Chain A
Amino acid sequence: MIQFINTILIGLTSGAIYSLMAMAIVLVWRSTRVINFAQAGLALASAYIGYQVVQSVSNYWVALIVAMFAGAALSALIEIAFMRLLLKHTSSGPIASVAPIIATLGLLGIIKAGIAMIWGGQDVVVKPPLSNTGFSIGTHTLVFSPMKLAIVISVATLVLVFSLIFQRTNIGLALRASAFAPEIARLAGVRVDLVRTLGWALSGAAGAVAGLLLTSNGNGSFSPESMEFSLLLISGFIAAVIGGLESLVGAVIGALVLGLVTSFVLMYISGSLFFIAPFVVLLLVLFLRPQGIIGVKAGRRA
C-alpha cells in the first residue's frame, strides 16, 4: 500500500514538472507552428540564472521568480531576433516545414555552449530550499517530501495563473484568437506579431520554472551536460503530443499521465524500462488516438 501511494506521489511530482515543459512546447507550437527544441537550453539557462541569484541573495523563491522572468525575456528575444528572420526566409519550398525545427536544435547547442563559457562545464548546486526527506505516516516514511509538495504547489499555482490569463483577460483572448486564426485576428486589429512574441515569453517562463524545479526534485546539482534537461524536453514533448499539441489543458493531463505511467513502470516493473516507457506511451497514443487525448479530430490547422 505504501509503495502504491509512493508511486502515485512520485508520478504526480514528475508529471507536474513535465506539465510546465509541455505547456511551454504547446505555447510555442500554437503561436509559431514550431517545435522548439531549444526549450531545454532555455530551461537550463534559466536554472543557471537562478543559481546566480541564489549566490547573491540566497533566497530560492526570489531566484525562482527572477529565473521565470529571465526565461520569458530570453525566449522573447529568440523569437524576435532569430525565429522571425528564419521564418521570413524559409516561408516556402520543401525546407520550410523542417528548417525552423532543425534551427532550434542548433540553437540548443549554442545556448549550452554559451552556458559552459559563462559558468563553466562543471556541476553547480542550487540547494533545494526544503527538505527532501519524506513525510512519515506512523512508522512508514514516504518518498514524498516537503520539497516535492512545494513543487506540486508551485506548478499548480503557475498553471492556475496561466489559465486565468488565457480564459479571463483580453491578452488571453488575443493569444487564443492569434493561435486559432491569425488572419482573422489581424483583421480584427490584433497585433499578431506582438502576441506571438508574448506567447514565446510565456513559454519561456513556464520552461524556466520547470528547469529550476527539476533540479530541486533531485539533489540540486546540474551542469550544461545534465541528462535531466534532455529528458525534461523529451517528456514535455511527449506529454504535449499526448495532450493533442494544441491544448494547455491537454498538455497538463498528458504530463500527469506520463508521470504516473513512468512512475509505475519504475516501481512495479523494472528500472531499466524507465527510459523507454515514455516512448511506449507516445506510440500507443499515436496508434490509438493520433489526435491526442483531448485533441480535436481532423482539427483545423489555423
Chain B
Amino acid sequence: MSLIIQGLTVDHGAIRAVNDVSFTVEKGKLTAVIGANGAGKSTLLRALSGLNSATAGTAEWSNHNLLHGKPEAHVRKGVSHVSEGKSVVAELTVEENLDLGALWRRNRREATESKNQAIELFPRLGERLSQRADTLSGGERQMLAIGRALMSKPELLLLDEPSLGLAPLVIEQIFQTIRGIVDSMGLTVVLVEQNAMGALKIADTAVVLNLGRVAATGTAADLIADPAVRAAYLGY
C-alpha cells in the first residue's frame, strides 16, 4: 500500500500549475515536497485531496483513485488534508474544531478515543478546549488543524506548509511532532514546505518541484547533500 502518482497534471485556467509529476510514497514514510513559491506544491496537494480537479495523470492510494470524488469522500477513505494557512474554523471552539473531524465516524467511542489521543499529543489544546479557535496562537492553530485531521483517523496525511508564519522554535516543535506521528502511528505523510531544510531534516524522501515539474527526487539525505539542491533551495 503506497501512494503512487503518475503523470499528474493540473491546470489553473490557462496556467499549468502541475506538469507531468510522478513519484511514489511508501506506506509509513514521510515525503517532503519542496520548492519555491508558485512551484505547484499546494496545487498538487489540493488535487490529491479532491479540492482541485486534475487535467491528466493518475494518483492512487491503496487502490483508491484520488483524482475522483469530493474531499469528503476522500476523508472516509483515510485521506486527510490540512490546507495552507492553519486550517481551523476560527468561529468554532477548539473542541468543536476537533469534533468536526470525526462527525462522519459512526463509532462514537472510537471518535472519543481519537480526541483523547489528539489532546495527549497536543496538551495545549486540552487546556483550551472551550476557547474559540481565533484566540489561539499561530502554533496552537496549526496543532489544532493537525489534531482535527487526526480525528478523521487518516492513513494518509497531506500537510500544506505547517510552518507558515510561525516562529523558528514553534516550527521545530511542529516538525518534531509530525515526525512523531509518522513513527508512532505508522501514518504516511506528504509534507509540502517552503522551509526546505526543516522539511528535509525530518523527511524520509523528498520531491523538488520547479515551475510545476519534478526537478529532483531522492532520499532526504541525498537531496541535502546534492550541491544543486543546496544552492537552489537550501541557500548555501
Contacts and interface: CB of A to CB of B under 8 A. Distances in A.
A173, A189, A191: most-surrounded residue (chain B CB, <10 A): A189
A186 B89 CA distance: 12
Interface in A147-184: 170, 173-174, 176-177, 180-181, 183-184
B83 A189 contact: no
Contacts of B75: 187-189
B91 A189 contact: no
Nearest to B100: A188
Interface in B30-87: 49, 51, 70-72, 75-76, 80-83, 87
A115 B31 CA distance: 61
Nearest to B70: A186
Interface string A180-223: 11011111111110000000000000000000000000000000
A253 B81 CA distance: 39
B32 to A, nearest CB: 21
Chain B interface SS verdict (over half): loop
A164 B100 CA distance: 17
Contacts of B89: 176-177, 180-181, 184-185, 302
A183 B100 CA distance: 13
A300 interface: yes
B103 A184 contact: no
Contacts of A300: 90
Contacts of A191: 72, 104
Contacts of B194: none
Given A173-B100, A177-B89, A180-B90, A188 B148 contact: yes
Which bucket holds chain A's interface residue count? 10 to 19
B94 interface: no
Contacts of A173: 92, 96, 99-100, 103
B90 A174 contact: no
A174, A187, A189: most-surrounded residue (chain B CB, <10 A): A187
A184 B88 CA distance: 7
Nearest to A299: B91
Nearest to B105: A189
B103 A186 contact: no
Nearest to B71: A186
Contacts of B70: 186
Given A189-B101, A192-B72, A183 B148 contact: no
B103 A174 contact: yes
A218 B17 CA distance: 62
Contacts of A302: 89, 91
A184 to B, nearest CB: 5
A192 B73 CA distance: 11
A187 B83 contact: yes
Given A187-B49, A187-B81, A188-B148, A180 B100 contact: no
Contacts of B76: 189
Contacts of B152: 188-189
A47 B88 CA distance: 41
Contacts of B51: 183, 186-187
A191 B82 CA distance: 17
B103 A190 contact: yes
Contacts of A180: 89-92
A238 B61 CA distance: 50
A189 B72 contact: yes
Contacts of B151: 188
Contacts of A170: 99, 103
Nearest to A167: B96
A187 B87 contact: yes
A236 B86 CA distance: 36
A127 B99 CA distance: 47
A188 B83 contact: no
A168 B88 CA distance: 20
Nearest to A180: B91
30 contacts: A173-B96, A174-B100, A174-B103, A176-B91, A183-B83, A183-B87, A184-B83, A184-B87, A184-B88, A184-B89, A185-B100, A186-B51, A186-B70, A186-B71, A187-B49, A187-B71, A187-B75, A187-B83, A187-B149, A188-B75, A188-B100, A188-B103, A188-B148, A188-B149, A189-B75, A189-B76, A189-B103, A190-B72, A190-B103, A302-B91
Given A181-B90, A183-B83, A185-B89, 14 more contacts: A173-B99, A173-B100, A176-B89, A176-B92, A176-B96, A180-B89, A180-B90, A183-B87, A186-B72, A187-B81, A187-B83, A188-B100, A189-B152, A190-B103
Counting from the closest, the 9 A-B pairs by CB-CB distance are A189-B75, A189-B104, A186-B71, A188-B100, A181-B89, A180-B91, A188-B101, A184-B87, A187-B81
